[in-house]
Structure 1
Amino acid sequence: MSPTGDKNVVHRPGALKQQNKAFKTGRHRSQHEIKRSTQGRVADKKHARSLKRLGVTPKQNRVNTAVQIRKQKLQANKEARQTIGAIDGVPQIITVIPLSSDVNVFSIIELLTNSIDDTKSSDIATECGARIYTCPKLRSKFCFLTPPPTNLENILDAAKLSDTIIYVISASSGISIEGDYLLDLINVHCLPGSIIYSVVSSSTDDSMSVTSSTSRHSLSRNLERFLQKRFANVKLVPLDNEQDGQRLLRKLTEQKLTKPTKKCLRPYLFAQTYSYENPKSSISTLKLSGYLRGIHLSPNELVYIPGLGTFQLEKIEQHQFQRDSDGIVKPIVEKVYLPQPDVQRSLAFEADIDPSINYQDQTWPTQEELEKAEIEHAQIKKRVPKGTSEYQAAWIVSDEEEQDFEDDDEEQQNMVTANADELESIQLNQEEYEEEEEEEMDELVMNPNNYDEKLDLEEDKQTLKKIKEAKLDEQFPDEVDTPMNIPARVRFQKYRGLKSFRTTKWDPKENLPEEYGRIYQFPNFRAMIKQIQTEQEDNHEKQDHAQVHSYVTLYIKDVPVNRFEPGHHIFVSGLLPHEQCLSVLNIVLNRTNDSEIVLKSKERLIFHVGFRRFASAPIYSQHSHGDKHKFERFFRPRQTLVATCFGPITYPPASVLAFKEFPDGRQELVATGSLLSVNPDRLVLKRVVLSGHPFKIQKKTAVARFMFFNPEDINWFKPIELRTRWGRRGHIKESLGTHGHMKCQFDGILKSQDTIFMNLYKRVYPKWTYEPFSIQQHKEEDMQ
């Protein structure tokens, strides 16, 4: 009954009434109770279901899978050994590279070929500087290559297509500077299937002197420790006598042969013999004979010869070895493959320009412009004070040169001139200045060929200027001064502001240069790669292809007649579809650890992309995510950037080496990397930062100056957002006066020591500077 005496009123507890925790009946059992109830039994089915739900395979199934995979690998290795390196198959290509200056490579090969006493063995020297050694006792066949130590390109080509590389090191002198440099190049660019490090006790001459076993072991151990710090699983193999040679040959016979992925994508061939049908003419058909490797080769495909270029096939002869009545084994033509004219790939390098697309004006020079530039270079005219000698005038920088140094954008040449009324005052001031200087200045004809023939002081000056510009750009990234003699709306008319660099849309097909009409583009580059891989798998079953691992003779038509150096190895690689065409390559580059050269954007470099070499002047951008990437003016040491340049289409994986070529012909490795993509739509945006300083501050409002110098420019750039060094954001409210002062509003209180910035962006494109790097061109440069 309620206190009021009303029987219908129900008592309700208040908010402070105690609530006891409910007893958990049947929800939990102790471990002791579980063991007592189960009596040691295990629920197998329930455990199996839980493992299946979690994606865990039972142990016995994992063991069986591992055994099957091991058997498959052993079978694949056995099949490879029966083909590559077998006495009746394709010889194993072994490149012998000395890493010490006192190592005689030819004595090493003599030691290996004479180490096994077998009267049936044969040792044949081919026309291309190779030694083919057949050993019936080991039932193996080897092809030893010894590229010239001075020919870096030929060493890299031999290493790319080798099955095994033998590095020979002298225990007395160790690894030389050149050998260490070559070791890094091969390890980064063209790592083969297997590597053997061999050490000799002394210089390999006729005497073959051998040091004591104690000193030999200590020297070898020190070399092994040195190599183990840089490479994994390094073990030195001694090579001093015939017993060591026998062990090395057996190791070559029994080792596991692995093929890198890049070797399985395309056919390739090492030419054992070569000849021209008409060696007296400038262009003739080149006949190359050797074993076909990689995949099958169709006569309709194109082939690439390093140093010569890309060519079509006239026909392919597939041979079969037979022994004649004299007991000599000779190749006999078994089948001939002829190309189909309607299916054979074209050598077209550039695409036809689509007249329906309105491209920008072309930027590469015409032949008339080049001839005019040569005449102007031969006779340079400079305005110098009267009485100035030719030597003194060479140190004076002309107005045109100074403008080129300060403005690398080359925008002043393509800039649309402002209205006559706006620039009339500027032109009048320039004319008055020229009239005043005309009385004291004189024109002097200069001949640069007679000035300091032995010294290149101009190169030193340019290098020092580039280093200073790089340091200045590193301290003040992308900051430029607003010109006072040119309106900012004219100087930066190609730039635009972005609300957000990451999310703001930018059309990749907008205002393309005319060079982009001459290149090939793919709607989806990755889908194209998958389609080509599928086509390659289907081609293995076709009968109109020369079979892999067969001895063939390639008839390559329209090849420039060239006399190769003694010992030069000739290699041929087949090209995949569209790889003879030109496009835009995007390459991820990492600066080498020992390179301290500052590389400027649009500076000429020599690239080794896969199996091809060419020269180009790339532009650099940040290696970032998203659809827009910031342009970098300099490629500094210990930095990773993406280089964009014109080049032949290449499908990844493809390793890349970048060399800097000096005026004396010397090359230095500056960066290594790999091919990222072939994509002309990669947006590389160059940023320009205009800076101003707060003049008067009233909490969130400030008056800024020194960013612009007239009210017309302020009104032109008014919609673009402002930012400060300390993270404030704002916008321009209005112009004040006629000297470029402007009132700005920010999202917070501005400090007097802060700086105001405005970011402007424009898209930049690589320059048309592609140059194929050929043997003939290399010879002409050496002769000069």
Structure 2
Amino acid sequence: MQQAHRAGNLKQSNKSHKSRHRSKRGIAAAVKGKVNVKEFVRRNRHVLKKEERRHQALQIRKNKREESMNKKRALGGTRFPPFLVCVVPLNRQLDVNSALAILKSCSEGAVATESPNGILHIALPNFKQRFSFISPEVDNDFSLLDALKVADTALFISSALDEPVDEWGEKVLALAMAQGMPTPVVVAMDIEGVHPKKRTTEKQNVQKLISKWLPEEKVMQLDKNSDGLNLFRRIGNQKRNVIHHREKRPYMLAEEVEYVPESDGKGTLKVSGYLRGMPLNVNGLVHITGLGDFQMSRIDGLEDPHPLTLGKETGKSDTMEAEVIKVSVLQKADPAKQESLVSENVPDLMDAEQTWPTNQEIEQANIEKVPKGWSDYQAAWIVESDAEDNSEYESGSDAEDDEQFMSLMESEVGPTDEKYDDTVDAFEEHEVLKKLAAAREDQLYPDEVDTPQYGFYITIHIKDVRQDLWQAFHASNGTAPLSLFGLLPHEQKMSVMNVALKRTGVSDEPIRSKDRLVFQVGYRRFIVNPIFSQHTNGSKHKLKSQDTVLLNLYKRIYPKWNYENCIVTDRDGKEGKDVAMD
């Protein structure tokens, strides 16, 4: 009888043919009538046709455009702070009040109010936007810089009758560009006072002068009410420049400032205004330009004193002015979580020294953990690791297990209906239900907390402000705007850095080494005595008594720098010593 051949264990197994696509016969042989469950349950994906893909892209583009337009239209509205405009004249003799008078009366429904610090607020119900105008003092460089660092728009005003840009105007433009230019808008006044045949020529002359500093800006006219409406429309709809040192921090321009002295020579400084930028944490630190770093005690939320009224009533009545402003406490500082004001590291000279242990430390080191009921003879035979294991075992006693068991049994069974009133306190149960409901609401809506957000009108209570320091600051900066910035973690620390500076070309006046200079960097302003040295690529630098074109500065500074915006002047604020970061 013939037997079929059976392959042994050493039979050669060839590799299968590498092919991406199998034939129908191969698929049928592999499946043999079976259907994969995943493939059967999964829904077939609809393949879009060319016209459908085009329609989908059109819808996505339309939604993004609508979202962008809604965000732009909401700026300056009821839930957002008003547009902050810094009005700067380009001629020392030009009065900006005439321009503000045109802006007040350009619209019939415009509502104009003024804050105690002199900030003009104009609400336009037709545009559904609000605008705030601040006019810094002329010939005060620090006042101008403090106003520009928090402003959304810089409104430069020139005149066609006088010199459009004089020496003061050139200095203003140089300082604004060195610190960080907000969104600029340039207007020319008094064009209507020029002969009609020369108006176009005068406007072109102003445009040529402005193009040297701002080549992309087009000069607007401001003489009539229609010009004022065009200016409001331009400010409200234009794209704003990004200033990086304030995009990551909360900041605020003070609308009201009040100092409350205390008995220990210190006091509380209350600063009210619209919060801009990022949310503010009460446990962090704030920096007041020219005053220093401080801690906060609490943050209060107030009603908007300059609301945007969209109805028929365009102004506040006399009865509303007599009402008491509602104040709600948003946050209170926690001393355990509050940032420290320590800025310098005080080294401990004995930190690295090896000292002899004290008697208490020796006694604690000699204490041995012995199980309960063991004698000294038994404890002598226990290894240290075994003793730790036994102590861990005895930590959980039988009584604790019994208590846990009894608590489980009681919680599972629960009280009966007859004993419910005797064992359960109705008031305590109601309070527990309230806590559970609040915890549930916090879990469902974690973002809805009373945290000072962008656009809130708040009052910040700054604690431990020295009276002599505040009196000196207020005496020297009485009319200057007060700006406040929130600090990032560890930003109050001091450091030592080498910084390369170069001149802007405004002046060639020499600066001696160790001269007292005022540095304006981002939101900070501080005084240092820098040491100039030769700028080289090596690790060693030659000391120089005076700077020429490039200088290397070695001093103690804050590590959080805005490397694009630095202004250096002398102690008296004289011009001619402005430099920029390289």
Q: Same fold (TM over 0.5)?
A: yes
Alignment CA distance shift 1:240-1:156 (3 Å): same
Residue among 136, 141, 158 paired with 1:169: 158
* CA apart distance, 1:81: 3.7
Cα distance in structure 1, aligned partners of 2:501 and 2:336: 40
Alignment CA distance shift 1:346-1:634 (3 Å): same
Q: Match for 2:219: what amino acid? A: L
Cα distance in structure 2, aligned partners of 1:314 and 1:600: 43
Alignment CA distance shift 1:86-1:195 (3 Å): same
Equivalence for 1:673: 580
State the SS of the aligned residue for 1:262: helix
Are 1:138 and 2:49 counterparts?
Answer: no
Cα distance in structure 2, aligned partners of 1:654 and 1:673: 8
State the SS of the aligned residue for 2:233: helix
State the SS of the aligned residue for 2:205: helix
* CA apart distance, 1:633: 1.1
Q: Match for 1:583: what amino acid? A: S
Gaps of 5+ in 1: 1-60, 203-208, 359-539, 677-784
TM-score between both structures, scaled by the size of structure 2: 0.65
**Kept after mapping to 1: 8 A contact 2:157/2:187:** yes
* CA apart distance, 1:615: 1.5
Alignment CA distance shift 1:331-1:139 (3 Å): farther
Equivalence for 1:630: 541
Equivalence for 2:510: 598
Residue among 245, 266, 288 paired with 1:262: 245
State the SS of the aligned residue for 2:261: coil
* CA apart distance, 1:101: 2.3
Are 1:573 and 2:485 counterparts?
Answer: yes
Residue among 170, 177, 184 paired with 1:180: 170
Residue among 344, 347, 350 paired with 1:350: 344
Cα distance in structure 1, aligned partners of 2:158 and 2:325: 38
Deviates more, 1:181-190 or 1:224-233: 224-233
Cα distance in structure 2, aligned partners of 1:319 and 1:348: 32
Cα distance in structure 2, aligned partners of 1:212 and 1:228: 24
Alignment CA distance shift 1:242-1:305 (3 Å): same
Equivalence for 1:106: 97
The sequence identity of aligned pairs, in percent, is 27
Equivalence for 1:750: none
Alignment CA distance shift 1:152-1:356 (3 Å): same
Alignment CA distance shift 1:567-1:116 (3 Å): farther
Alignment CA distance shift 1:542-1:645 (3 Å): farther
Cα distance in structure 1, aligned partners of 2:513 and 2:478: 39
Q: How does 1:89-488 map to 2 (within 5 A)?
A: 89-118=80-109, 121-172=110-161, 173-192=163-182, 194-201=183-190, 210-278=193-261, 283-321=266-304, 326-327=319-320, 332-355=326-349
**Greater share of strand residues, 1 or 2?**
1
Count of matched residue positions in the alignment of Structure 1 and Structure 2: 419
Equivalence for 2:38: none
State the SS of the aligned residue for 2:132: strand
Cα distance in structure 1, aligned partners of 2:480 and 2:296: 22
Moved over 6 A (4+): 64-71, 322-325
Cα distance in structure 2, aligned partners of 1:155 and 1:230: 18
Equivalence for 2:67: 75
Are 1:553 and 2:459 counterparts?
Answer: yes
Cα distance in structure 2, aligned partners of 1:67 and 1:215: 50
Tell me which of the two structures has the higher relative contact order, counting C-alpha pairs closer than 8 angstroms and 6 or more residues apart.
2
Cα distance in structure 2, aligned partners of 1:308 and 1:590: 28
* CA apart distance, 1:594: 3.1
Alignment CA distance shift 1:65-1:609 (3 Å): farther
Q: How does 1:746-761 map to 2 (within 5 A)?
A: none
**Kept after mapping to 1: 8 A contact 2:521/2:561:** no
**Kept after mapping to 2: 8 A contact 1:129/1:145:** yes
State the SS of the aligned residue for 2:97: helix
Cα distance in structure 1, aligned partners of 2:62 and 2:243: 19
Cα distance in structure 1, aligned partners of 2:332 and 2:564: 30
Q: Match for 1:333: what amino acid? A: V
**Kept after mapping to 1: 8 A contact 2:252/2:273:** yes
**Kept after mapping to 2: 8 A contact 1:199/1:239:** yes
Equivalence for 1:680: none
Alignment CA distance shift 1:281-1:77 (3 Å): farther
Per-residue Cα deviation, 1:245-279 (whole angstroms, up to 9, x for no partner) = 12111212222234322221111011111212239
Cα distance in structure 2, aligned partners of 1:548 and 1:636: 44
Gaps of 5+ in 2: 1-52, 308-315, 353-445
* CA apart distance, 1:222: 1.3
* CA apart distance, 1:76: 4.0
Deviates more, 1:104-113 or 1:596-605: 596-605
Alignment CA distance shift 1:109-1:266 (3 Å): same
Per-residue Cα deviation, 1:304-356 (whole angstroms, up to 9, x for no partner) = 11222211101011234599994569753344201110111111132112315
State the SS of the aligned residue for 2:187: strand
Cα distance in structure 1, aligned partners of 2:262 and 2:137: 24
Q: Match for 1:78: what amino acid? A: N
Alignment CA distance shift 1:66-1:179 (3 Å): farther
Cα distance in structure 2, aligned partners of 1:320 and 1:259: 29
Alignment CA distance shift 1:135-1:287 (3 Å): same
Cα distance in structure 2, aligned partners of 1:604 and 1:299: 35
Alignment CA distance shift 1:324-1:632 (3 Å): same
Cα distance in structure 1, aligned partners of 2:274 and 2:219: 31
State the SS of the aligned residue for 1:600: coil
Alignment CA distance shift 1:349-1:170 (3 Å): same
Cα RMSD between the aligned structures?
3.3
Cα distance in structure 2, aligned partners of 1:590 and 1:342: 44
Alignment CA distance shift 1:231-1:640 (3 Å): farther
Equivalence for 2:77: 86
* CA apart distance, 1:92: 0.7
**Kept after mapping to 1: 8 A contact 2:513/2:547:** no
Cα distance in structure 2, aligned partners of 1:66 and 1:585: 52
* CA apart distance, 1:547: 1.8
Equivalence for 1:658: 568
Per-residue Cα deviation, 1:522-561 (whole angstroms, up to 9, x for no partner) = xxxxxxxxxxxxxxxxxx9695742222111100112234
Alignment CA distance shift 1:333-1:76 (3 Å): farther
